Structure 1
Amino acid sequence: MMQDVKGNSEEYNDPILYDTENDFVIEVPFLSKWASKPNQIIIDLACGTGRVTLPLAKEGYKVIGVDLHTGMIDRAKAKAAELNLDIEWFQQDCCNLDLKLKSNLIYMVGNSFQHFLSNQEQDQLFTSVNQHLELEGVFIFNTRFPSTEELLQPNTEEYWRTYTDKSSDNTVDVYTISNYDSLKQIQHYKTIRKIKNNLDEMIGQKETNIYLRYTFPKELERLISQHSFEIIDIFQDWNEKPISNGSYEMVYVCRKVK
């Protein structure tokens, strides 16, 4: 689900855990509005385990899933087979796509855009997307909003959330530690999962690290324009609420103009 698999993949090395912690499909109704033709090819970049790919395929759309991470793609293939869904899967770097086809709709969700840490990687991504879109085709992606609250978090262990692991009935308390590098605009997150049994006894702990790039709206405006796209809309969520200074994320809808 990312480009530097060796150096930035800890969050994705356990696809089953990923599915447990990411069992939502809030993007699907929004994307369905742009997938106007059931027989059109839709490309899901950084598709992971098929969290969004599968629901769209179940609606009858022809979806192609692309991801660089072997474990995530293998998990996606297995899930598609269980559902008897005919989906093409490609293990490729989104910076250097070679799908031998073009689409009218490409999307990248789950804030995966933040895995492209350098200007060069962002440029390569947009170049690849442009090459695989038909003229007037649409590219939709989201990325977290670089708010003061988001970037200037204390670099101490902070409680995030608690969930129940359905496979074991254990309780998992999730904490994070974050450090922001202002020069590189990259946030390092350490996620700490403290696992407890039904007696509330600590029985294990799992830690993962990830690095995420935060890109500001005016930077994105320039980037999108430079790669021959125009911005159709910017929202603060998948329910199409207008973006504001208090936004948590940004959802971009872009059209290829040349």
Structure 2
Amino acid sequence: MSYQHFAYYYDQLMEEAPYGQWISFFEQAMATVGADVSSVLDVGCGTGSISIPLALKGYDVTGIDLSDDMLAVAHEKSMTQHASVQFLQQDMTEIEGLPEFDAAVIFCDSLNYLLTEEKVAAAFHSVHRHLKENGIFLFDVHSLYKIHNIFSGNTFAENAQEISYIWQCYEGEYPDSVEHELSFFVHEEDSRYTRFDEVHMQRTLSVQTYEHLLEEAGFTVIKITGDFSENELKSEAERIFFICKKSK
């Protein structure tokens, strides 16, 4: 899924996203597995909200994304924040021409934009090829519970001064998928509002399916948790986290 107008307002709409918790999860996971990590591949990096903080912490970060608009925003942010990040336009299912990294992440449910098991498998294989021996792979996805009980059939809205939105969620054409219809209204200098509309589709899979695809790609699943917690995965967790290691 390639973001269009949405890319330039994404950070405003995501102001309350818990990016700090993703960074903490990354560092806690590295401590848990005892990994010595210096280089990180941020897959589906978007506007760099994970890449840039990791770079500012001293990691050598490369961020890839399918959307050149999102990457343009990410590059501008990195320059403003004096963070050294290499941003590249690449498809996560066909990563090419990059070195091997100590760790790779696909955070903020970016993996859910892949709508078939074949695409997810391709992404896992692609990441695997770009990890060093015993490299660590972390990612999160929406849970089945969230797709069916939080998203599907519901509408979300916010009326803010600079940008407002109406976000409607419908059952998607694939099993365990959702279609997001987003209309957002941007306040212009002459007091008018400009409206943009976009449609985004996401799908998730069962935990068992992800485990199977990871094993086939050559990963060992070390731990599965939910909602940024270190504790056992609960049935009503909305976001599922996987900690994996390249094993073969």
| Residues paired across the two proteins, number | 239
Paired AA for residue 9 in structure 1: S
Equivalents in 2 of 1:28, 1:163: separation in Å?
A: 29
Equivalents in 1 of 2:86, 2:186: separation in Å?
A: 36
Change in CA separation of 1:202 and 1:141 when aligned onto 2, cut-off 3 Å = same
**Stretch moving more, 80-89 or 233-242:** 233-242
Superposed displacement of residue 13, structure 1: 3.4
Superposed displacement of residue 81, structure 1: 1.0
Name whichever structure is richer in helix by fraction. Answer: 2
**What residue number does 2:182 align with?**
191
| Secondary structure, aligned partner of 2:234 | coil
* Alignment partner of 1:17 is 2:13: no
Which of the numbers 182, 202, 206 marks the counterpart of 1:216? 206
Superposed displacement of residue 255, structure 1: 0.8
| Secondary structure, aligned partner of 2:9 | helix
* Alignment partner of 1:176 is 2:168: yes
**What residue number does 1:31 align with?**
26
Superposed displacement of residue 59, structure 1: 1.1
Identical amino acids, percent of aligned pairs: 19
Return the TM-score normalized by structure 1.
0.82
**What residue number does 1:248 align with?**
238
| Secondary structure, aligned partner of 1:56 | helix
What is the aligned-residue RMSD (CA, Å)?
2.6
Superposed displacement of residue 180, structure 1: 3.1
Which of the numbers 216, 226, 241 marks the counterpart of 1:236? 226
Superposed displacement of residue 173, structure 1: 4.7
Superposed displacement of residue 214, structure 1: 1.5
Superposed displacement of residue 194, structure 1: 5.8
Paired AA for residue 8 in structure 2: I
Superposed displacement of residue 196, structure 1: 8.2
Which string of whole-angstrom CA distances, capped at 9 and with x for unpartnered residues, describes residues 139-170 of structure 1?
A: 100100012x63267976x4424263xxxx34
Return the TM-score normalized by structure 2.
0.85
* Alignment partner of 1:227 is 2:217: yes
Paired AA for residue 232 in structure 2: P
Task: Please tell me whether the aligned partners of residues 170 and 178 of structure 2 are also in contact (alpha carbons under 8 angstroms).
Answer: yes
| Secondary structure, aligned partner of 1:94 | coil
**What residue number does 1:160 align with?**
156
* Alignment partner of 1:48 is 2:38: no
Paired AA for residue 179 in structure 1: E
Equivalents in 2 of 1:81, 1:232: separation in Å?
A: 36
* Alignment partner of 1:135 is 2:125: no
**What residue number does 1:103 align with?**
101
Segments of structure 1 that go 5 or more residues without pairing to the other structure are: 1-7
**Stretch moving more, 98-107 or 204-213:** 204-213
Change in CA separation of 1:81 and 1:202 when aligned onto 2, cut-off 3 Å = closer
Task: Please tell me whether the aligned partners of residues 41 and 61 of structure 1 are also in contact (alpha carbons under 8 angstroms).
Answer: yes
Equivalents in 2 of 1:153, 1:237: separation in Å?
A: 14
Hey, which bits of structure 1, 4+ residues long, moved more than 4 A? 35-38, 152-156, 194-197, 201-205
| Secondary structure, aligned partner of 2:93 | helix
Task: Please tell me whether the aligned partners of residues 165 and 182 of structure 2 are also in contact (alpha carbons under 8 angstroms).
Answer: no
Which string of whole-angstrom CA distances, capped at 9 and with x for unpartnered residues, describes residues 33-60 of structure 1?
A: 328646x111100101101111111111
Change in CA separation of 1:84 and 1:152 when aligned onto 2, cut-off 3 Å = closer
Change in CA separation of 1:192 and 1:177 when aligned onto 2, cut-off 3 Å = farther
Which string of whole-angstrom CA distances, capped at 9 and with x for unpartnered residues, describes residues 182-229 of structure 1?
A: x544321212336789xxx99564432111112111111111111111
